[in-house]
A and B are shown apart, each in its own frame.
Chain A
Amino acid sequence: EPEVTQTPSHQVTQMGQEVILRCVPISNHLYFYWYRQILGQKVEFLVSFYNNEISEKSEIFDDQFSVERPDGSNFTLKIRSTKLEDSAMYFCASSGQVINYGYTFGSGTRLTVV
């Protein structure tokens, strides 16, 4: 069964550093998403991406964050100047073109900011 692959599985970074979280969505999917989950809290939407541009973003997704699809396969989330409160699981997801197709989520990257 096709999978969404995320790397690394765990990233530790110092406060103030930049991190890039990487995702390889399912190859024929067209919609891409980032969600995050702070330990013990809800899964929160960050951003959706379609046709090489952001289609929707939440209040969490401020200027500190950016997304990019640098080639035909990767989808990245960059967090500039990380803060302690950015520590969370970050999930990438993708979905197909059919309206109301379900998402496929990756297994996540655990980001720890120290």
Chain B
Amino acid sequence: DAKTTQPNSMESNEEEPVHLPCNHSTISGTDYIHWYRQLPSQGPEYVIHGLTSNVNNRMASLAIAEDRKSSTLILHRATLRDAAVYYCILRDGGVTGNQFYFGTGTSLTVIP
């Protein structure tokens, strides 16, 4: 599986937008970009995923670069509950049920 690179940590003020970057320069044409987050003492939680087009859901937006070598998870208004480790993961869309490889992610701190 292609690797991703994320900053180790980021900070945001409460109620401000947060842009979490991810680089995946070796992404293949069938790789989907998934984002999960892990709140303290909990299991990972699905946030959003996409292939080529930008995606929006109730939790976040995913902006994918035109060359697909990078993406950005956007939290529109950070709350204290968004403090978590955010993982950007590539997963081959040509295979059903295969595993996710979790890296070290970005630890997001939200400042009140």
The number of residue pairs between A and B whose CB atoms lie closer than 8 Å in the complex comes to 56
Whether B100 contacts A42 by the Cβ 8 Å rule is: no
Can you list, as one digit per residue, whether each of B78-108 has a CB less than 8 Å from chain A (1) or not (0)? 0000000001000101111111111110000
Distance, CA A108 to CA B44, complexed state (A):
10
CB of A50 within 8 A of CB of B97, answer yes
Interface size bucket, A side? 20 to 34
What distance in Å separates the Cβ of B30 from its nearest Cβ neighbour in chain A? 9
Give the chain B neighbours of A93 by CB distance below 8 A: 43-44
Q: Tell whether A74 is near chain B: CB-to-CB under 8 Å.
A: no
Tell me if A107 is interfacial: C-beta within 8 Å of chain B: yes
Contact status B42-A56, CB under 8 Å: no
Query: What is the size category of the interface that chain B forms with chain A?
Result: 20 to 34
Residue among A35, A43, A56, A108 making CB contact with B98, cutoff 8 Å: A56
Interface positions, chain B 50-94, Cβ under 8 Å from A, are 87, 91, 93-94
Most chain B CB within 10 A, of A30, A33, A50, A99, is at: A99
Considering the complex, give the chain B residue whose CB is closest to the CB of A32.
B97
**Would A103 and B102 count as touching, CB distance under 8 A?**
no
Q: Is the CB of A100 within 8 A of B32?
A: yes
23 sampled A-B residue pairs with Cβ under 8 A: A30-B97, A42-B103, A43-B102, A45-B101, A48-B98, A48-B99, A50-B97, A56-B99, A89-B43, A91-B43, A95-B97, A97-B96, A99-B94, A99-B95, A99-B96, A100-B93, A102-B34, A102-B36, A102-B46, A104-B46, A107-B43, A108-B42, A108-B43
